[in-house]
Amino acid sequence: MTYRWVEHTAELELEVDADTERGVFADAVAAFAELLGDDGRGELETRDVEASGHDRSALLADWLEELIFLADTEGFTPEHLAEIDLGGDRARAVVAGRRGQPPPLVKAVTYHGLEFRQEHGRWRARVVLDV
């Protein structure tokens, strides 16, 4: 499981490199957990997260948007991906996390330089977040 934040003048760029497509989604949750960095005093809870997109990268962007929406509306900070069912243009997942007061840090997931591809047997994704 690997992800890293790449230098960008004003925004945040996330790169994920995983064994599987599922791994990309799981690593993205871990990255968000680090970013929102809430002290997570609440009980561990789960949320169903559904997303759609006409290609894999749009699907990942939509799915991350759902995490931002949960943080913004419920103060829900994700901790880990519990389950995920990846269809052609849909994803259905269960994410575990806690409610708290995460900072309103991430405005949106952009489509700038958005990537989700297989390379040398690995799955790589890149997204730029507007912060």
Partner 1 sequence: MSDLRRIDETLWEIPKEARADMRVPARVFADEELLDAISTDSSLEQLQNVATLPGIVDAALAMPDIHQGYGFPVGGVAAIELPDGVVSPGGVGYDINCGVRLLAAPFSEAELGQRRERLVHELSRRIPAGTGRGGPLDLRGADLERVLRDGPKALVETRGIGSEDDIERTESRGCLEDADPAAVSERARERGGGQLGTAGSGNHFVEVQRVARILDAPAAEAFGLQEGQVTILIHSGSRGLGHQVCTDYVKRMDAAIARHGIELPDRQLACAPASSPEGRAYLAAMAAAANFAWANRHAIAHRVRESIAQVLGERDAAATRQVYDVAHNVAKAERHEGRDVLVHRKGATRAFPAGSDEIPADYWDHGQPVFIPGSMGTSSFVLAGEAGSMRRSFGTTCHGAGRRMSRTGARKQIGGAELRRELEARGIVVRCPSNRGLAEEAPFAYKDVERVVEIVERAGLARRVAQLVPIGVVKG
Q: Site residues (CB under 8 A) for partner 1?
A: 5, 7-12, 53-54, 58, 61-62, 65, 68-69, 71-75, 101-105, 107-114, 128, 130-131
* Residue among 27 and 57 whose Cβ is closer to partner 1: 57
* Residue among 37 and 94 whose Cβ is closer to partner 1: 37
CB 113 → partner 1: shortest distance, Å? Answer: 8
- Helix axes of 56-74 and 21-36: crossing angle, nearest 10 degrees: 30
Is the Cα dihedral 109, 105, 39, 37 positive or negative? Answer: positive
CB 1 → partner 1: shortest distance, Å? Answer: 21
CB 35 → partner 1: shortest distance, Å? Answer: 11
* Residue among 10 and 88 whose Cβ is closer to partner 1: 10
Secondary structure element (H or E) that encloses residue 14, with its range:
strand 12-18
Secondary structure element (H or E) that encloses residue 31, with its range:
helix 21-36
Distance CA 82, CA 103 (A): 24
